[in-house]
Chains A and B, each alone.
Chain A
Protein backbone atom coordinates (compact mmCIF):
# COMPACT_ATOMS: atom_id res chain seq x y z
CA UNK A 1 0.00 0.00 0.00
CA UNK A 2 2.77 2.43 0.88
CA UNK A 3 4.33 2.07 -2.58
CA UNK A 4 1.00 2.64 -4.29
CA UNK A 5 0.48 5.73 -2.13
CA UNK A 6 3.87 7.04 -3.21
CA UNK A 7 3.23 6.33 -6.88
CA UNK A 8 -0.27 7.83 -6.90
CA UNK A 9 1.03 10.94 -5.10
CA UNK A 10 3.98 11.35 -7.46
CA UNK A 11 1.95 10.83 -10.66
CA UNK A 12 -0.83 13.14 -9.47
CA UNK A 13 1.67 15.88 -8.58
CA UNK A 14 3.58 15.34 -11.84
CA UNK A 15 0.43 15.85 -13.90
CA UNK A 16 -0.74 18.79 -11.73
CA UNK A 17 2.47 20.83 -11.83
CA UNK A 18 2.79 21.55 -15.59
CA UNK A 19 -0.78 22.90 -15.62
CA UNK A 20 -0.19 25.36 -12.76
CA UNK A 21 0.42 27.90 -15.51
CA UNK A 22 -3.28 27.81 -16.48
CA UNK A 23 -5.05 29.12 -13.37
CA UNK A 24 -8.83 29.27 -13.01
CA UNK A 25 -8.78 31.09 -9.69
CA UNK A 26 -5.12 32.15 -9.37
CA UNK A 27 -3.48 30.85 -6.22
CA UNK A 28 -6.38 28.54 -5.46
CA UNK A 29 -7.16 26.31 -8.40
CA UNK A 30 -6.04 25.81 -11.96
CA UNK A 31 -7.04 23.86 -15.04
CA UNK A 32 -6.70 20.30 -13.81
CA UNK A 33 -6.34 17.52 -16.31
CA UNK A 34 -4.99 15.53 -13.36
CA UNK A 35 -8.51 15.48 -11.87
CA UNK A 36 -9.17 12.45 -14.05
CA UNK A 37 -6.84 10.46 -11.79
CA UNK A 38 -8.50 10.59 -8.31
CA UNK A 39 -11.63 8.51 -9.03
CA UNK A 40 -9.63 6.10 -11.20
CA UNK A 41 -6.87 5.67 -8.59
CA UNK A 42 -9.44 5.41 -5.79
CA UNK A 43 -11.30 2.51 -7.41
CA UNK A 44 -8.02 0.77 -8.24
CA UNK A 45 -6.02 1.33 -5.06
CA UNK A 46 -8.54 2.26 -2.32
CA UNK A 47 -6.90 3.76 0.78
CA UNK A 48 -3.54 4.15 -0.96
CA UNK A 49 -5.23 6.49 -3.43
CA UNK A 50 -6.93 8.50 -0.67
CA UNK A 51 -3.57 9.35 0.91
CA UNK A 52 -1.78 9.49 -2.43
CA UNK A 53 -4.17 12.06 -3.88
CA UNK A 54 -4.04 14.20 -0.71
CA UNK A 55 -0.23 14.07 -0.56
CA UNK A 56 0.10 14.58 -4.32
CA UNK A 57 -2.04 17.71 -4.14
CA UNK A 58 0.06 19.04 -1.27
CA UNK A 59 3.23 18.41 -3.29
CA UNK A 60 1.63 20.16 -6.26
CA UNK A 61 0.94 23.13 -3.96
CA UNK A 62 4.60 23.19 -2.93
CA UNK A 63 5.55 24.00 -6.52
CA UNK A 64 4.05 27.45 -6.45
CA UNK A 65 0.66 27.69 -4.74
CA UNK A 66 1.27 26.59 -1.15
CA UNK A 67 -0.68 28.92 1.09
CA UNK A 68 -3.55 29.29 3.53
CA UNK A 69 -5.82 27.03 1.49
CA UNK A 70 -3.42 24.09 1.36
CA UNK A 71 -4.69 22.47 4.57
CA UNK A 72 -8.24 22.44 3.21
CA UNK A 73 -6.84 21.31 -0.14
CA UNK A 74 -5.35 18.31 1.65
CA UNK A 75 -8.70 17.46 3.27
CA UNK A 76 -10.68 18.03 0.08
CA UNK A 77 -8.35 15.91 -2.00
CA UNK A 78 -8.44 13.20 0.67
CA UNK A 79 -12.23 13.11 0.19
CA UNK A 80 -11.65 13.01 -3.56
CA UNK A 81 -9.47 9.92 -3.24
CA UNK A 82 -11.39 8.19 -0.44
CA UNK A 83 -15.03 8.55 -1.43
CA UNK A 84 -15.20 6.69 -4.76
CA UNK A 85 -14.00 3.39 -3.27
CA UNK A 86 -15.99 3.99 -0.09
CA UNK A 87 -19.23 4.56 -2.05
CA UNK A 88 -18.70 1.97 -4.77
CA UNK A 89 -21.25 -0.85 -4.51
CA UNK A 90 -22.92 0.68 -1.47
CA UNK A 91 -25.49 2.97 -3.01
CA UNK A 92 -28.34 0.45 -3.26
CA UNK A 93 -30.24 0.75 -6.53
CA UNK A 94 -27.72 3.30 -7.86
CA UNK A 95 -24.92 0.75 -7.62
CA UNK A 96 -24.04 -1.82 -10.26
CA UNK A 97 -22.88 -4.27 -7.53
CA UNK A 98 -20.03 -5.33 -9.81
CA UNK A 99 -16.32 -4.68 -9.88
CA UNK A 100 -15.47 -1.28 -11.43
CA UNK A 101 -14.15 -2.64 -14.72
CA UNK A 102 -16.30 -0.18 -16.70
CA UNK A 103 -17.62 -3.07 -18.75
CA UNK A 104 -21.24 -1.90 -18.96
CA UNK A 105 -23.46 1.17 -18.68
CA UNK A 106 -24.47 0.54 -15.06
CA UNK A 107 -20.84 0.57 -14.00
CA UNK A 108 -20.22 3.76 -15.97
CA UNK A 109 -23.28 5.36 -14.38
CA UNK A 110 -22.08 4.40 -10.91
CA UNK A 111 -18.63 5.76 -11.78
CA UNK A 112 -20.15 9.09 -12.76
CA UNK A 113 -22.20 9.19 -9.53
CA UNK A 114 -19.26 8.46 -7.20
CA UNK A 115 -17.06 10.88 -9.16
CA UNK A 116 -19.67 13.61 -8.84
CA UNK A 117 -20.18 13.06 -5.10
CA UNK A 118 -16.46 12.94 -4.33
CA UNK A 119 -15.75 15.95 -6.55
CA UNK A 120 -18.46 17.99 -4.85
CA UNK A 121 -17.22 16.89 -1.40
CA UNK A 122 -13.75 18.16 -2.32
CA UNK A 123 -15.18 21.47 -3.53
CA UNK A 124 -17.32 21.73 -0.38
CA UNK A 125 -14.34 21.23 1.98
CA UNK A 126 -12.02 23.66 0.15
CA UNK A 127 -14.62 26.37 -0.48
CA UNK A 128 -15.85 26.13 3.13
CA UNK A 129 -12.28 26.40 4.44
CA UNK A 130 -11.43 29.44 2.34
CA UNK A 131 -14.71 31.09 3.30
CA UNK A 132 -13.74 30.43 6.94
CA UNK A 133 -10.40 32.18 6.33
CA UNK A 134 -12.12 35.01 4.49
CA UNK A 135 -10.09 34.59 1.30
CA UNK A 136 -12.60 33.51 -1.34
CA UNK A 137 -16.38 33.38 -1.56
CA UNK A 138 -18.00 29.95 -1.36
CA UNK A 139 -20.06 30.84 -4.42
CA UNK A 140 -17.02 31.11 -6.69
CA UNK A 141 -14.92 28.24 -5.37
CA UNK A 142 -17.80 25.89 -4.54
CA UNK A 143 -18.92 25.99 -8.15
CA UNK A 144 -15.57 26.21 -9.98
CA UNK A 145 -13.85 23.41 -8.08
CA UNK A 146 -16.92 21.18 -8.36
CA UNK A 147 -17.03 21.75 -12.13
CA UNK A 148 -13.29 21.09 -12.40
CA UNK A 149 -13.68 17.87 -10.37
CA UNK A 150 -16.82 16.54 -12.00
CA UNK A 151 -17.11 17.43 -15.70
CA UNK A 152 -13.87 16.12 -17.21
CA UNK A 153 -13.37 13.17 -14.80
CA UNK A 154 -17.03 12.16 -15.18
CA UNK A 155 -16.86 12.38 -18.95
CA UNK A 156 -13.57 10.58 -19.61
CA UNK A 157 -12.40 9.09 -16.29
CA UNK A 158 -14.31 5.87 -16.90
CA UNK A 159 -12.46 5.38 -20.22
CA UNK A 160 -9.11 5.69 -18.41
CA UNK A 161 -10.33 3.23 -15.76
CA UNK A 162 -11.53 0.84 -18.45
CA UNK A 163 -8.09 0.93 -20.08
CA UNK A 164 -6.29 0.34 -16.80
CA UNK A 165 -8.52 -1.94 -14.71
CA UNK A 166 -7.77 -5.30 -16.35
CA UNK A 167 -4.05 -4.58 -16.54
CA UNK A 168 -3.82 -3.56 -12.89
CA UNK A 169 -5.88 -6.60 -11.90
CA UNK A 170 -3.52 -8.83 -13.87
CA UNK A 171 -0.61 -7.28 -11.96
CA UNK A 172 -2.42 -8.16 -8.70
CA UNK A 173 -2.58 -4.57 -7.46
CA UNK A 174 -6.34 -4.00 -7.03
CA UNK A 175 -6.82 -2.90 -3.41
CA UNK A 176 -9.55 -5.43 -2.60
CA UNK A 177 -7.13 -8.20 -3.56
CA UNK A 178 -4.14 -6.70 -1.74
CA UNK A 179 -5.99 -6.49 1.57
CA UNK A 180 -7.55 -9.05 3.82
CA UNK A 181 -11.34 -9.45 3.29
CA UNK A 182 -12.13 -8.08 6.77
CA UNK A 183 -10.01 -5.01 6.01
CA UNK A 184 -11.99 -4.16 2.89
CA UNK A 185 -14.87 -3.08 5.13
CA UNK A 186 -18.09 -4.83 4.21
CA UNK A 187 -19.71 -4.33 7.62
CA UNK A 188 -23.51 -3.70 7.87
CA UNK A 189 -23.05 0.01 8.63
CA UNK A 190 -21.08 0.58 5.42
CA UNK A 191 -24.13 1.17 3.26
CA UNK A 192 -25.69 3.55 5.82
CA UNK A 193 -22.36 5.37 5.99
CA UNK A 194 -22.19 5.65 2.19
CA UNK A 195 -25.65 7.20 2.02
CA UNK A 196 -24.88 9.53 4.94
CA UNK A 197 -21.70 10.59 3.15
CA UNK A 198 -23.44 11.23 -0.18
CA UNK A 199 -26.45 13.06 1.32
CA UNK A 200 -24.32 15.19 3.69
CA UNK A 201 -22.04 16.14 0.80
CA UNK A 202 -24.77 17.16 -1.61
CA UNK A 203 -27.00 18.82 1.00
CA UNK A 204 -24.13 20.70 2.69
CA UNK A 205 -22.68 21.95 -0.59
CA UNK A 206 -26.08 23.01 -1.93
CA UNK A 207 -27.04 24.76 1.32
CA UNK A 208 -23.74 26.67 1.53
CA UNK A 209 -24.04 27.64 -2.12
CA UNK A 210 -27.60 28.86 -1.59
CA UNK A 211 -26.62 30.85 1.50
CA UNK A 212 -23.58 32.24 -0.27
CA UNK A 213 -25.65 33.65 -3.12
CA UNK A 214 -28.12 35.01 -0.60
CA UNK A 215 -31.01 32.56 -0.95
CA UNK A 216 -34.17 33.68 0.73
CA UNK A 217 -33.11 37.30 0.56
CA UNK A 218 -31.29 39.83 -1.47
CA UNK A 219 -29.43 37.88 -4.16
CA UNK A 220 -26.84 40.44 -5.12
CA UNK A 221 -26.30 42.11 -1.80
CA UNK A 222 -26.22 39.20 0.60
CA UNK A 223 -24.58 37.03 -1.99
CA UNK A 224 -21.38 38.39 -3.34
CA UNK A 225 -20.95 40.66 -0.38
CA UNK A 226 -21.20 37.74 1.97
CA UNK A 227 -18.72 36.24 -0.40
CA UNK A 228 -16.08 38.79 0.47
CA UNK A 229 -15.12 36.07 2.87
CA UNK A 230 -15.78 34.90 6.37
CA UNK A 231 -19.57 34.80 5.89
CA UNK A 232 -20.55 33.29 9.22
CA UNK A 233 -23.89 31.88 8.04
CA UNK A 234 -22.11 29.80 5.37
CA UNK A 235 -19.41 28.66 7.78
CA UNK A 236 -21.90 27.68 10.50
CA UNK A 237 -24.31 25.98 8.11
CA UNK A 238 -21.56 23.94 6.46
CA UNK A 239 -19.85 22.74 9.65
CA UNK A 240 -22.41 20.04 10.68
CA UNK A 241 -22.46 18.61 7.17
CA UNK A 242 -18.66 18.36 7.09
CA UNK A 243 -18.85 16.70 10.52
CA UNK A 244 -21.42 14.24 9.09
CA UNK A 245 -19.06 13.39 6.21
CA UNK A 246 -16.27 12.68 8.69
CA UNK A 247 -18.72 10.63 10.82
CA UNK A 248 -19.60 8.57 7.74
CA UNK A 249 -15.91 7.67 7.43
CA UNK A 250 -15.96 6.36 11.00
CA UNK A 251 -19.21 4.41 10.47
CA UNK A 252 -18.18 3.02 7.12
CA UNK A 253 -14.66 2.33 8.31
CA UNK A 254 -13.08 2.57 4.89
CA UNK A 255 -9.56 1.57 5.72
CA UNK A 256 -7.42 4.66 5.51
CA UNK A 257 -4.16 3.67 7.22
CA UNK A 258 -1.17 3.04 5.04
CA UNK A 259 -0.80 -0.45 6.50
CA UNK A 260 2.70 -1.61 7.10
CA UNK A 261 1.98 -3.82 10.08
CA UNK A 262 0.77 -7.39 10.04
CA UNK A 263 3.13 -8.51 7.33
CA UNK A 264 1.15 -6.72 4.66
CA UNK A 265 2.99 -6.31 1.38
CA UNK A 266 4.66 -2.96 0.91
CA UNK A 267 2.95 -2.61 -2.47
Chain B
Protein backbone atom coordinates (compact mmCIF):
# COMPACT_ATOMS: atom_id res chain seq x y z
CA UNK B 1 0.00 0.00 0.00
CA UNK B 2 1.52 3.31 -1.09
CA UNK B 3 0.74 6.00 1.45
CA UNK B 4 3.43 8.44 0.35
CA UNK B 5 2.53 11.64 -1.42
CA UNK B 6 5.80 11.92 -3.40
CA UNK B 7 5.29 12.33 -7.15
CA UNK B 8 8.23 11.40 -9.36
CA UNK B 9 9.43 14.35 -11.42
CA UNK B 10 12.21 16.77 -12.34
CA UNK B 11 10.52 20.13 -11.91
CA UNK B 12 12.32 23.16 -10.43
CA UNK B 13 10.56 22.38 -7.13
CA UNK B 14 11.82 18.78 -7.21
CA UNK B 15 15.36 20.05 -7.79
CA UNK B 16 15.20 22.64 -5.01
CA UNK B 17 17.23 21.90 -1.85
CA UNK B 18 14.89 20.62 0.92
CA UNK B 19 16.02 23.33 3.37
CA UNK B 20 14.69 26.33 1.42
CA UNK B 21 11.59 24.29 0.63
CA UNK B 22 11.00 23.81 4.38
CA UNK B 23 11.55 27.53 4.96
CA UNK B 24 9.02 28.28 2.21
CA UNK B 25 6.43 26.05 3.91
CA UNK B 26 7.06 27.74 7.29
CA UNK B 27 6.93 31.16 5.59
CA UNK B 28 3.65 30.18 3.93
CA UNK B 29 2.18 29.17 7.30
CA UNK B 30 3.25 32.45 8.94
CA UNK B 31 1.93 34.57 6.09
CA UNK B 32 -1.34 32.64 5.90
CA UNK B 33 -2.17 33.18 9.58
CA UNK B 34 -1.15 36.86 9.55
CA UNK B 35 -4.42 38.39 8.31
CA UNK B 36 -8.11 37.85 9.05
CA UNK B 37 -9.27 38.82 5.56
CA UNK B 38 -9.52 35.97 3.02
CA UNK B 39 -7.54 37.96 0.45
CA UNK B 40 -4.10 36.94 1.78
CA UNK B 41 -4.72 33.19 2.23
CA UNK B 42 -6.71 33.21 -1.04
CA UNK B 43 -3.74 34.67 -2.90
CA UNK B 44 -1.43 32.17 -1.19
CA UNK B 45 -3.68 29.29 -2.21
CA UNK B 46 -3.44 30.56 -5.80
CA UNK B 47 0.36 30.50 -5.53
CA UNK B 48 0.32 27.00 -4.04
CA UNK B 49 -1.88 25.73 -6.88
CA UNK B 50 0.44 27.36 -9.42
CA UNK B 51 3.37 25.61 -7.71
CA UNK B 52 1.44 22.32 -7.90
CA UNK B 53 0.96 22.88 -11.63
CA UNK B 54 4.69 23.56 -12.13
CA UNK B 55 5.68 20.54 -10.04
CA UNK B 56 3.05 18.19 -11.47
CA UNK B 57 1.84 17.62 -7.90
CA UNK B 58 -1.85 17.27 -8.79
CA UNK B 59 -1.94 13.49 -8.13
CA UNK B 60 -0.89 14.17 -4.50
CA UNK B 61 -3.43 16.98 -4.11
CA UNK B 62 -6.16 14.79 -5.61
CA UNK B 63 -5.47 12.19 -2.91
CA UNK B 64 -6.20 14.66 -0.13
CA UNK B 65 -8.96 16.60 -1.92
CA UNK B 66 -11.70 15.19 0.34
CA UNK B 67 -9.82 16.32 3.45
CA UNK B 68 -9.15 19.74 1.91
CA UNK B 69 -12.76 20.26 0.84
CA UNK B 70 -14.07 19.11 4.24
CA UNK B 71 -11.67 21.43 6.05
CA UNK B 72 -12.49 24.43 3.85
CA UNK B 73 -16.23 23.85 4.05
CA UNK B 74 -16.34 23.11 7.78
CA UNK B 75 -14.21 26.09 8.78
CA UNK B 76 -16.13 28.50 6.59
CA UNK B 77 -19.52 27.36 7.88
CA UNK B 78 -18.43 27.04 11.54
CA UNK B 79 -16.88 30.49 11.70
CA UNK B 80 -19.62 32.12 9.68
CA UNK B 81 -21.97 30.93 12.44
CA UNK B 82 -19.71 31.42 15.47
CA UNK B 83 -18.04 34.77 14.82
CA UNK B 84 -20.03 37.99 15.16
CA UNK B 85 -20.19 41.03 12.93
CA UNK B 86 -22.19 44.20 12.40
CA UNK B 87 -23.63 43.75 8.89
CA UNK B 88 -26.46 41.15 8.88
CA UNK B 89 -26.50 38.74 5.95
CA UNK B 90 -28.62 35.68 6.70
CA UNK B 91 -29.80 34.63 10.18
CA UNK B 92 -26.82 34.61 12.54
CA UNK B 93 -24.40 34.99 9.61
CA UNK B 94 -22.98 38.45 9.02
CA UNK B 95 -20.80 39.73 6.19
CA UNK B 96 -17.88 40.00 8.62
CA UNK B 97 -18.32 36.50 10.06
CA UNK B 98 -18.61 35.03 6.55
CA UNK B 99 -15.41 36.79 5.50
CA UNK B 100 -13.69 35.54 8.66
CA UNK B 101 -14.95 32.00 8.01
CA UNK B 102 -13.71 32.10 4.44
CA UNK B 103 -10.37 33.46 5.64
CA UNK B 104 -9.89 30.73 8.25
CA UNK B 105 -10.93 28.00 5.80
CA UNK B 106 -8.54 29.33 3.16
CA UNK B 107 -5.71 29.60 5.72
CA UNK B 108 -6.02 25.91 6.57
CA UNK B 109 -6.48 24.80 2.96
CA UNK B 110 -3.55 26.91 1.69
CA UNK B 111 -1.14 25.69 4.37
CA UNK B 112 -2.14 22.04 4.06
CA UNK B 113 -2.03 22.17 0.25
CA UNK B 114 1.40 23.82 0.53
CA UNK B 115 2.69 21.01 2.73
CA UNK B 116 1.27 18.44 0.29
CA UNK B 117 3.12 20.10 -2.61
CA UNK B 118 6.27 20.04 -0.44
CA UNK B 119 5.85 16.31 0.22
CA UNK B 120 5.01 15.65 -3.43
CA UNK B 121 8.35 17.13 -4.46
CA UNK B 122 10.62 15.97 -1.60
CA UNK B 123 11.85 12.40 -1.05
CA UNK B 124 12.01 11.04 2.49
CA UNK B 125 15.81 10.90 2.45
CA UNK B 126 15.97 14.54 1.29
CA UNK B 127 13.62 15.50 4.10
CA UNK B 128 15.79 13.74 6.70
CA UNK B 129 19.02 15.18 5.26
CA UNK B 130 17.48 18.64 5.25
CA UNK B 131 16.38 18.34 8.88
CA UNK B 132 19.85 17.20 9.95
CA UNK B 133 21.52 20.06 8.06
CA UNK B 134 19.12 22.48 9.75
CA UNK B 135 20.47 21.31 13.11
CA UNK B 136 18.06 18.57 14.18
CA UNK B 137 19.98 15.98 16.30
CA UNK B 138 20.78 12.91 14.22
CA UNK B 139 18.92 10.40 16.48
CA UNK B 140 15.72 12.45 16.16
CA UNK B 141 16.10 12.82 12.37
CA UNK B 142 16.88 9.10 12.10
CA UNK B 143 13.81 8.21 14.16
CA UNK B 144 11.67 10.51 12.03
CA UNK B 145 12.87 9.25 8.64
CA UNK B 146 12.86 5.56 9.64
CA UNK B 147 9.37 5.82 11.13
CA UNK B 148 8.22 7.56 7.95
CA UNK B 149 9.57 4.61 5.95
CA UNK B 150 7.90 2.06 8.23
CA UNK B 151 4.43 3.63 8.16
CA UNK B 152 3.31 1.86 4.94
CA UNK B 153 4.50 -1.46 6.40
CA UNK B 154 2.37 -1.04 9.50
CA UNK B 155 -0.61 0.33 7.57
CA UNK B 156 -0.34 -2.82 5.43
CA UNK B 157 -0.03 -5.00 8.55
CA UNK B 158 -3.15 -3.35 9.97
CA UNK B 159 -5.09 -3.96 6.75
CA UNK B 160 -3.98 -7.62 6.73
CA UNK B 161 -5.02 -8.09 10.37
CA UNK B 162 -8.41 -6.50 9.69
CA UNK B 163 -8.91 -8.79 6.66
CA UNK B 164 -7.88 -11.84 8.70
CA UNK B 165 -10.31 -10.93 11.50
CA UNK B 166 -13.08 -10.22 8.99
CA UNK B 167 -12.57 -13.66 7.43
CA UNK B 168 -13.14 -15.08 10.95
CA UNK B 169 -16.41 -13.22 11.21
CA UNK B 170 -15.44 -9.91 12.86
CA UNK B 171 -17.71 -7.15 11.60
CA UNK B 172 -15.90 -3.82 11.95
CA UNK B 173 -18.13 -1.86 9.60
CA UNK B 174 -21.58 -2.13 11.18
CA UNK B 175 -22.90 -0.27 14.19
CA UNK B 176 -22.70 3.36 15.23
CA UNK B 177 -19.48 5.35 15.42
CA UNK B 178 -18.55 4.41 19.02
CA UNK B 179 -19.31 0.75 18.40
CA UNK B 180 -17.08 0.72 15.33
CA UNK B 181 -14.32 2.41 17.33
CA UNK B 182 -14.65 -0.23 20.05
CA UNK B 183 -14.39 -3.01 17.45
CA UNK B 184 -11.14 -1.56 16.13
CA UNK B 185 -9.42 -1.52 19.55
CA UNK B 186 -8.56 -5.27 19.68
CA UNK B 187 -6.90 -4.85 16.28
CA UNK B 188 -4.42 -2.38 17.79
CA UNK B 189 -2.92 -5.07 20.05
CA UNK B 190 -1.57 -7.41 17.31
CA UNK B 191 -0.28 -4.45 15.26
CA UNK B 192 1.56 -3.09 18.30
CA UNK B 193 2.79 -6.48 19.51
CA UNK B 194 4.02 -7.37 16.02
CA UNK B 195 5.93 -4.09 15.79
CA UNK B 196 7.54 -4.52 19.22
CA UNK B 197 8.56 -8.05 18.34
CA UNK B 198 10.68 -6.66 15.51
CA UNK B 199 12.47 -4.24 17.89
CA UNK B 200 15.33 -6.60 18.72
CA UNK B 201 15.98 -7.44 15.07
CA UNK B 202 16.06 -3.77 14.12
CA UNK B 203 18.29 -2.96 17.11
CA UNK B 204 20.76 -5.67 16.11
CA UNK B 205 20.80 -4.43 12.52
CA UNK B 206 21.56 -0.91 13.74
CA UNK B 207 24.27 -2.01 16.15
CA UNK B 208 25.92 -4.20 13.51
CA UNK B 209 26.14 -1.12 11.31
CA UNK B 210 27.76 0.87 14.11
CA UNK B 211 24.83 3.17 14.88
CA UNK B 212 26.01 5.91 17.24
CA UNK B 213 29.56 4.56 17.39
CA UNK B 214 31.00 7.94 16.41
CA UNK B 215 29.62 11.36 17.23
CA UNK B 216 30.22 12.64 13.66
CA UNK B 217 29.07 10.76 10.60
CA UNK B 218 29.05 11.14 6.86
CA UNK B 219 26.04 11.01 4.56
CA UNK B 220 25.44 9.55 1.14
CA UNK B 221 23.23 12.48 0.21
CA UNK B 222 25.25 15.71 0.26
CA UNK B 223 23.17 18.89 0.08
CA UNK B 224 24.56 21.97 -1.64
CA UNK B 225 22.81 25.31 -1.97
CA UNK B 226 22.76 26.78 -5.48
CA UNK B 227 21.59 30.23 -6.70
CA UNK B 228 18.00 28.97 -7.10
CA UNK B 229 18.02 27.72 -3.51
CA UNK B 230 19.23 31.07 -2.21
CA UNK B 231 16.51 32.78 -4.23
CA UNK B 232 13.96 30.53 -2.50
CA UNK B 233 15.46 31.51 0.90
CA UNK B 234 15.00 35.16 -0.10
CA UNK B 235 11.34 34.50 -0.98
CA UNK B 236 10.86 32.80 2.41
CA UNK B 237 12.47 35.82 4.12
CA UNK B 238 10.06 38.12 2.25
CA UNK B 239 7.18 35.98 3.50
CA UNK B 240 8.34 36.46 7.11
CA UNK B 241 8.69 40.18 6.43
CA UNK B 242 5.16 40.21 5.01
CA UNK B 243 3.92 38.48 8.17
CA UNK B 244 5.55 41.13 10.39
CA UNK B 245 4.25 43.95 8.22
CA UNK B 246 0.66 42.65 8.27
CA UNK B 247 0.75 42.06 12.02
CA UNK B 248 2.33 45.41 12.88
CA UNK B 249 0.16 47.55 10.61
CA UNK B 250 -3.06 45.66 11.33
CA UNK B 251 -3.71 45.40 7.58
CA UNK B 252 -6.04 42.58 6.67
CA UNK B 253 -8.26 42.95 9.73
CA UNK B 254 -12.00 42.78 9.10
CA UNK B 255 -13.69 45.97 10.35
CA UNK B 256 -16.72 45.22 12.50
CA UNK B 257 -15.67 41.67 13.41
CA UNK B 258 -16.02 41.10 17.17
CA UNK B 259 -13.10 39.34 18.81
Contact = CB atoms under 8 A, between A and B. Distances in A.
Contacts of B184: 33
Contacts of B154: 10-11, 13-15
A225 B258 contact: yes
B148 A64 contact: no
A156 B151 contact: no
A5 interface: yes
A33 B188 contact: yes
Contacts, number: 216
B188 A173 contact: no
Given A2-B142, A17-B155, A7 B198 contact: yes
B191 A229 contact: no
Which of A40, A135, A152, A168 has most chain B Cβ within 10 Å? A135
A248 to B, nearest CB: 22
A258 B71 contact: no
Contacts of A17: 3, 151, 155
A228 B206 contact: no
Interface residues of A, number: 71
B244 to A, nearest CB: 15
A3 B203 contact: yes
B147 interface: yes
Interface stretch (A49-57, A96-104, A115-123): A49-57
Contacts of A40: 192
B140 A62 contact: no
Which of B32, B74, B177, B212 has most chain A Cβ within 10 Å? B212
Interface residues of B, number: 69
Interface in A10-47: 10-11, 13-15, 17-18, 20-23, 25-27, 31, 33-34, 36-37, 40-41
Interface stretch (A86-94, A159-167, A206-214, A237-245): A159-167
Interface in B122-172: 137, 139-140, 142-144, 146-148, 150-151, 153-155, 157-158
Secondary structure type dominating chain B contacts: helix
B43 interface: no
Interface stretch (B11-19, B49-57, B62-70, B225-233): B62-70
Given A15-B158, A65-B67, A10 B147 contact: yes
A9 B144 contact: yes
B121 interface: no
Nearest to A61: B115
Contacts of A21: 66-67
A4 B202 CA distance: 9
B104 A135 contact: yes
A160 B158 CA distance: 16
A134 to B, nearest CB: 7
A35 B85 CA distance: 38
Which of A67, A163, A226, A227 has most chain B Cβ within 10 Å? A67
A26 B69 CA distance: 10
A260 interface: yes
A152 B75 CA distance: 26
Contact of A160 (B84, B144, B146, B188): B188
A224 interface: yes
Interface string B196-223: 1111101110110001100000000000
24 contacts: A3-B199, A10-B147, A13-B147, A13-B148, A14-B150, A17-B3, A17-B151, A33-B181, A34-B188, A41-B192, A55-B143, A56-B147, A59-B147, A65-B112, A66-B115, A66-B116, A68-B33, A159-B185, A160-B189, A160-B192, A173-B199, A229-B259, A266-B202, A266-B207
